[in-house]
Amino acid sequence: MTTTETKPEPAATKQVTQLGDRIFAGSAKGAGIVILVVLAGVAAFLLIEAFPAFTASGEDLPGGIVVYVAPLVFGTLLSAVIALVVATPLAVAVALFISHYAPRRLAQWLSYIVDLLAAVPSIVYGLWGAWTLAPLSVGLSTWLADYLGWIPLFAGPPSTTGRTMLVVGLVLAVMILPIVTAVAREVFLQAPALHEEAALALGATRWEMIRLAVLPFGRSGIISGAMLGLGRALGETMAVAIILSATGAVTVNLISSENPSTIAANIALQFPEASGITVNVLIASGLVLFVITLLVNMLARYIVERRRDFSGAN
């Protein structure tokens, strides 16, 4: 006679949800909904107020909204790209120095200084660029025109005031440097210590360890920080308005006096005296900037998620 022993089924575990958990979950969900509502409200306002500008023509808006906005979009993208190209390598180098090279006490002070740069008002950067960097850049612009004038970016003639797109790009690079550095620094500090120690144990130098273990791990963070900085550069207003002597020309010459303006700076300068259809045109240009910024953030999110999935698959 055989007896079959039956194991008692485990009692169903009931998830314990405390009041604090429910409050936190509800608050987080509510905050997410509020963000979506605010974003939808801003988009709806821009679309409604910009609609008359898209249908205006003739004397109200010669050439249409495309002719008006195209130079501004070009100037906005050009200045932001210059800032990104200059700031990203420097930010990565500073972040690596703070996280892997500098002594701990020095690294703390450098972190404080870099973070402090982000708290400086943009108008201060604008004044610094207009009164200090612009006059100093005249000699550099002349040298670039003399020796690198065969490149369209430095074809000249150089500006005698220094209020050029090159100076704007350099000032924007300084402004976005703390953002990119802070994000990259935190990501580099999260690199797996076992990977770093394994690379050093196998005979790798410190730079080889960083190249093999730290930079691949922090690549998504570098991209995220760069896109955050790009968003800041795209929307910068006062610094560009103070420095740039805009003429509305569409040119890639970075040292000439013929400079395109940016969308944000143009709105800030024109809006106080605008009336009628001009207000709708400025709001329409703001809508274009809103779309550009949204696309940049969506692209950054896609790149980060794709790299994360690719790393996980490997």
The pLDDT of residue 14: 52
Instruction: Write out pLDDT tens, residues 114-127.
Output: 888 888 888 999 99
State residue 6's pLDDT score: 56
Residues of the chain with pLDDT > 70, as a percent, come to 90
- Average pLDDT for 22-31: 89
What mean pLDDT value characterizes the chain? 84
DSSP string, 100-130: IIS-HHHHHHHHHHHHHHTTS-HHHHHHHII
pLDDT at 307: 63
Burial class (CB in 10 A: 0-12, 13-18, 19+), 303: middle
Cβ-contact 289, 240 below 8 angstroms: no
Residue pLDDT, tens place only, 159-194: 888 888 889 999 999 999 999 999 899 889 888 888
The predicted model gives 149-153 an average pLDDT of: 85
For residue 95, what pLDDT is reported?
A: 92
pLDDT of res. 93: 93
DSSP for 179-203 reads HHHHHHHHHHHTS-HHHHHHHHHTT
Tell me what pLDDT residue 18 has. Answer: 79
Q: What pLDDT sits at residue 10? A: 55
Residues 221-233: tens digit of each pLDDT: 888 889 888 888 8
**Above pLDDT 90, what percent of the chain?**
19
Give the tens place of pLDDT for each residue, 85-100.
999 999 999 999 998 8
Looking at residue 90, what is its pLDDT?
94
The model's confidence at residue 13, banded by pLDDT at 50, 70 and 90, is low
Q: pLDDT tens-digit profile of 211-254? A: 888 888 888 888 888 988 888 888 888 888 888 877 767 777 88
CA angle, corner 139, sides to 134 and 143, nearest 5? 130
Categorize the per-residue pLDDT at 60 as very low, low, confident or very high, splitting at 50, 70 and 90: low
Find the mean pLDDT for residues 10-22. 65
Q: What is the pLDDT of residue 308?
A: 61
Residue 159: per-residue pLDDT: 84
pLDDT at residue 257, rounded to an integer: 82
Q: Is residue 90 a contact partner of residue 225, using CB atoms and an 8 Å limit?
A: no
pLDDT score of 1 = 47
